[in-house]
Amino acid sequence: MRQVVTAPAGVLSTVAAEVDPTDPEIVALADELVAIMRVSPGCVGLAAPQIGVSASVFCVDVTGHPKAVTTHGAFVLCNAKIIEASRWRPGREGCMSVPDLTGDVKRAGRIVVEGLRPGTGEAVTLTTDAFEARAVQHEIDHCAGKLFLDRVAGAHAIYQRKVYL
């Protein structure tokens, strides 16, 4: 199993390549992302760039998280794009690729996302809100070469992490 890479690794600031979701290597990558997420305490999402692979693939599962309102269980999307975003509000975020910091990031509280399922290539439209919407946006940012630090309002909105899960 691959390890999570941390900033300033170049792959984290590079726009990830779109993928063929039916490619067996992409299907295996999707499985590996979910496996790493499952064994990482407190992790609710993981994108391929976070394990050193420049591919537009990520997984999310906020099931059981106290901030979750809507949850679709564990899912993986390839080449995902946000097509609607509304109800913007700030919230605290952390990231396994930036292990020592958290930050306040303004994100949409409701989104509609289009992507492709690994394996079948089936087109998926996902509507979600609250914490799951935040997690999806965070992972899409990874695929776009952005970290949450790129979205904070300034140095006043960055904090030392107080709890390590």
Evaluate whether residue 5 is within a structural domain.
Answer: no
Q: Output the DSSP codes for 48-80.
A: GGGGT--BSEEEE--TT-TT-SS---SEEEEEE
Q: Evaluate if residue 1 carries a pLDDT over 80.
A: yes
pLDDT of residue 162: 80
pLDDT of residue 153: 87
Evaluate whether residue 145 is within a structural domain.
Answer: yes
Evaluate whether residue 61 is within a structural domain.
Answer: yes
Evaluate whether residue 66 is within a structural domain.
Answer: yes
Mean pLDDT, rounded, of the chain: 96
pLDDT of residue 165: 55
Q: Evaluate if residue 83 carries a pLDDT over 80.
A: yes
Q: Which of 32, 93, 132, 139 is catalytic?
A: 139
Residues 6-27 have a mean pLDDT of: 98
- 148 pLDDT band, cuts 50/70/90, is very high
Evaluate whether residue 152 is within a structural domain.
Answer: yes
Evaluate whether residue 4 is within a structural domain.
Answer: no
Evaluate whether residue 165 is within a structural domain.
Answer: no
pLDDT of residue 164: 58
Q: Evaluate if residue 31 carries a pLDDT over 90.
A: yes
Tell whether 142 is in a known binding site.
yes
Evaluate whether residue 3 is within a structural domain.
Answer: no
As a whole number of angstroms, the distance between CA 111 and CA 92 comes to 18
The CATH code of the domain that includes 82 is 3.90.45.10
Tell whether 143 is in a known binding site.
no
Which of 36, 39, 41, 38 is closest to 52 using CA atoms? 36
Q: How would you write 13-37 as a 3-class SS string?
A: HCCCECCCCCCHHHHHHHHHHHHHH
**Could you tell me if 63 and 135 are in contact, meaning their C-beta atoms sit under 8 angstroms apart?**
no
Q: Evaluate if residue 100 carries a pLDDT over 70.
A: yes
Domain extent at residue 90: 10-160
Residues 68-93 have a mean pLDDT of: 96
Tell whether 95 is in a known binding site.
yes
Report the number of distinct structural domains present in the chain: 1
| 93 annotated active-site | no
Q: Is 77 left (phi over 0), alpha (psi -120 to 50) or beta?
A: beta
pTM of the model: 0.95
